[in-house]
Structure 1
Amino acid sequence: MTAESGTELRTLRPGEWDVWFATLERAFGGAPKAPGARELWRTLTEPERSLGAWADDDCVGTAGAFSFRLSVPGGALVAAAGVTMVSVAATHRRRGLLTAMMRRQLDDVHLRGEPLAVLIASEPDIYGRFGYGMAAYQLSALIDTGRVRLAAPHGTDAVRIRYADPVASLDACEAVYAQRVPLRPGMLARRPGWEQLAVVGADGSGPAGGAPLQCVLAERDGATVGYARFRNRPEWDAGGPRGTVVLDDLEALDPAAHAALWRFLFSIDLTSWLSLPNRPADDAWLHLVSDVRRCQIRLRDALFVRLVDVPAALRARTYRAPVEIVLQVEDSVCPWNDGRWRLTGGVDGAECARTGAGPDVVLSVRDLGCAYLGGTSLAALASAGRVHEVRPGALAQASTAFTNDLAPWTPHAF
């Protein structure tokens, strides 16, 4: 496939990964990954899903995908292409390479029968024109642990916290993580090998500038009920120690285990701050702290969702309330989605099929992606003029049905 005259677009051939990955690194600033991270990404890369744009012997564009399963409302794990490693060399901008790669990739996702494609955008204004909608936020915070108190629920004292080797404890942590995945939309069921990302880090150093990774397990009656992985960044000034604990990830199976882990993180010696780079927008600790203003909370875009097969994606999730509605979906990039779809569903499942009936609600596939995981309401999108009600009352019905109890969240980059 040719994106422009003299440029070939194809999947990776044996021996091309280093050149391809170097092109990606250069596009993102030129700093090479640490050796451990580089080897991990080499192992995780799926060559048959990795596209390169080649001008003679030069790689001038990259795009890849991982074969994921994504949790959706109702707890199902749905096949999803994790779009990643997208770049175009500065020498070859505005020549149609990105559009060619995105279209080729979506065609491939459709042929594979994956209802969804998802990504975390380096620049969020790029992907809307390809039908990706911002479906999940991530919360970051910097908590002044010297001035913020934590209220723990009943049963917290029965949970034991102990240090564990981060590598030796991987299996125990992954078992907890796997139980959490179906409970919150947007989480990824990790395939073998992906657990290594927790100990290597996406860049080989982790978010605390190379500080060693530490791990604690929460245990009750000899069973692991939670874990936290973090890095301790020491700092001193004239007044004494004021180090920062940087949380990599934390999962727990019940409120008491959850609170016990947070209480531990708040009380580490010689530290004054707890940094949370990526947590759910409705994380439970928000309801345990004494002063949320001293937590310096920020929200930013995180997961973007693209429905590649509209009826399959809408059938895969459940709905908070009964819904029977005709959606007119506008999709110029994936024309097989364009048209009217009758959605009938509820808490036990759904059916979705093409129909000739008149529409109740009109929206783009991008806006359907925004609402798909239940974190953005269709009513909110309608208030911005992006979703249009045709039948009175249909918007309220659909908006209620699409919402979810927990905010969608993706725990790590890909």
Structure 2
Amino acid sequence: MGTDRATELTVLRPDEWDTWWDGLVRAFGGVRAADEERELDRSVTEFERFLAVRDGDLNVGTAGSFSFRTTVPGGALVPAAGVTMVSVAATHRRRGVLTSMMRRLLEDARALGEPLAILTASEPAIYGRYGFGAATFQLNAEIDTSRTALSVPAEADEVRLRYADPAGALDDCEAVYAALVPRRPGMLARRAGWERAGLLDPESRRKGGSALQCVVAERDGAVTGYARFRTRPGWGRDGHEGTVSVLEHAALDPATDAALWRFLFGIDLMLHVEVSGRPLDDAWQYLVSDIRRCRPWLRDSCYLRPVDVGAALSARTYRTPVDVVLEVEDAFCPWNEGRWRLSGDTEGASCVRTTDPAELALSVRELGAAYLGGVSLLSLARAGRVRELRPGALERASVAFGSAEVPWLSHGF
């Protein structure tokens, strides 16, 4: 398959990986990654699912997919193609290189029976035309702990915290993470090898901070949570101005969650806590005395698109009973175009082709944005992205698509 006369799209071979990776690095600014980051990326590469576009002996395009499973509303783990490492050389833009790679990745996902495709976008404007909608968002904050008090439940005193070697505590931390995956839409079940990503600690990531640190939480002798973080000392005219950068925070119960935040807010000589990539409903927001002193801000995170509309909508459950006919537009994956009858409730769902009159009209991009329950169909309709064709259908469907838990992508890929 070619993109034009000068280029050829091929499956990546292991012996091509170094050259392929160098092209990816150049496209993302040319700063060489640390050896441990490079080695990890190679180790998790699924070569049969990664693509290279070549112009003669030049590598001019990169893309690939990981074989993930993501939690959907109702708790099921659904296969999802994790689209990643997408780049086009600046010398070969506007030649169809990206379009050819995206089409191949989505066709491959369909052939493998993956109802969903997901990605994180360095340039969000690119991916709407391929049917991806922003389905999850992340919370970030810069907390001034000198001006923000933290009030925790009494049960937090029952939690024992201990410093632990990050690598030595890996199994315990992964057990906590695995227990959390079914609870929240958007979380990924980690494949073998991915657990090492949380231990990456090259000097380039520290930004003047400490080596990676880890604290493990226990209740009644069982591990119930952990935090990974760095500390960055700092001094001013008035004394210490250090910063705690929270990299991961996971807890199985509210007491553990609060105990870990109390620890992170109270580390000696630290004046600030930096929080990034957290779920929008993160509990610390409701423990602090003054949210304004935390300077919270949001950013888009996971972009999702149904690869197979029928299978995707059948794979999740719905908060209230729903029976609606959707008119779906999907020019990039035309097998999804047309009318679908979605019927479901909290126990399960089915979504099949129909010739019945449509009640809602939307593109696959909006369907992807609403799929995990974090973006409402009503909100999309207010933006003109969803059209109601039968009165009352929009509100009922919007409520049904919602999720009790705010969706969250817990780590990038």
Counterpart residue number, 2:263: 264
Matches within 5 A, 1:253-332: 253-332=252-331
Matches within 5 A, 1:23-172: 23-172=23-172
Matches within 5 A, 1:306-385: 306-385=305-384
Aligned-pair identity (%) = 60
1:142/1:207 Cα in 2 relative to 1: closer, same or farther (>3 Å)?
farther
- Asked if residue 16 in structure 1 is aligned to residue 16 in structure 2, the reply is yes
1:94 partner letter: R
1:334/1:375 Cα in 2 relative to 1: closer, same or farther (>3 Å)?
same
Task: Using the TM superposition, give the Cα deviation of residue 211 of structure 1 relative to its aligned residue in structure 2, in angstroms.
Answer: 2.8
Task: Using the TM superposition, give the Cα deviation of residue 14 of structure 1 relative to its aligned residue in structure 2, in angstroms.
Answer: 2.9
**TM-score normalised by structure 1 residue count:** 0.98
What is the rounded CA distance, in whole Å, between the counterparts of 2:335 and 2:292 in structure 1?
48
1:50/1:204 Cα in 2 relative to 1: closer, same or farther (>3 Å)?
farther
3-state SS in 2 of match to 1:392: coil
Q: What do residues 216-241 of structure 1 show as CA deviations (whole Å, max 9, x unaligned)?
A: 01101110000000011111122211
What is the rounded CA distance, in whole Å, between the counterparts of 1:205 and 1:79 in structure 2?
34
Conserved 8 A contact 1:317-1:350? yes
What is the rounded CA distance, in whole Å, between the counterparts of 2:181 and 2:388 in structure 1?
34
Conserved 8 A contact 1:208-1:246? no
3-state SS in 2 of match to 1:245: strand
3-state SS in 1 of match to 2:323: strand
What is the rounded CA distance, in whole Å, between the counterparts of 1:4 and 1:145 in structure 2?
57
What is the rounded CA distance, in whole Å, between the counterparts of 2:264 and 2:100 in structure 1?
47
Task: Using the TM superposition, give the Cα deviation of residue 204 of structure 1 relative to its aligned residue in structure 2, in angstroms.
Answer: 6.8
Conserved 8 A contact 2:209-2:233? no
What is the rounded CA distance, in whole Å, between the counterparts of 2:48 and 2:158 in structure 1?
49
Matches within 5 A, 1:380-391: 380-391=379-390
What is the rounded CA distance, in whole Å, between the counterparts of 2:230 and 2:108 in structure 1?
39
Q: What do residues 156-210 of structure 1 show as CA deviations (whole Å, max 9, x unaligned)?
A: 1000011011000000000000010111111110011101000015x77436456
Q: Runs ≥4 in structure 1, deviation > 2 angstroms? A: 203-211
Conserved 8 A contact 2:360-2:393? yes
Conserved 8 A contact 1:207-1:246? no
Q: What do residues 12-33 of structure 1 show as CA deviations (whole Å, max 9, x unaligned)?
A: 1231000001000000000011
Conserved 8 A contact 1:231-1:245? yes
What is the rounded CA distance, in whole Å, between the counterparts of 1:153 and 1:347 in structure 2?
32
Conserved 8 A contact 1:33-1:204? no
Conserved 8 A contact 2:329-2:362? yes
2:162 partner letter: R
3-state SS in 1 of match to 2:148: coil
What is the rounded CA distance, in whole Å, between the counterparts of 1:66 and 1:347 in structure 2?
30
Conserved 8 A contact 1:205-1:211? no
Task: Using the TM superposition, give the Cα deviation of residue 147 of structure 1 relative to its aligned residue in structure 2, in angstroms.
Answer: 1.1
3-state SS in 1 of match to 2:205: coil
**TM-score normalised by structure 2 residue count:** 0.99
Q: What do residues 74-126 of structure 1 show as CA deviations (whole Å, max 9, x unaligned)?
A: 11111001110000000101111011111111111111110000000000000
**What is the aligned residue count?**
413
Gaps of 5+ in 1: none
3-state SS in 1 of match to 2:140: strand
Conserved 8 A contact 1:208-1:231? no
What is the rounded CA distance, in whole Å, between the counterparts of 2:245 and 2:318 in structure 1?
36
Q: What do residues 363-385 of structure 1 show as CA deviations (whole Å, max 9, x unaligned)?
A: 00000000000000000000111
Conserved 8 A contact 2:227-2:246? yes
Question: Which segment drifts farther, 168-177 or 149-158?
Answer: 149-158
3-state SS in 1 of match to 2:256: helix
2:161 partner letter: I
What is the rounded CA distance, in whole Å, between the counterparts of 2:172 and 2:346 in structure 1?
32
Conserved 8 A contact 1:187-1:410? yes
What is the rounded CA distance, in whole Å, between the counterparts of 1:39 and 1:204 in structure 2?
16
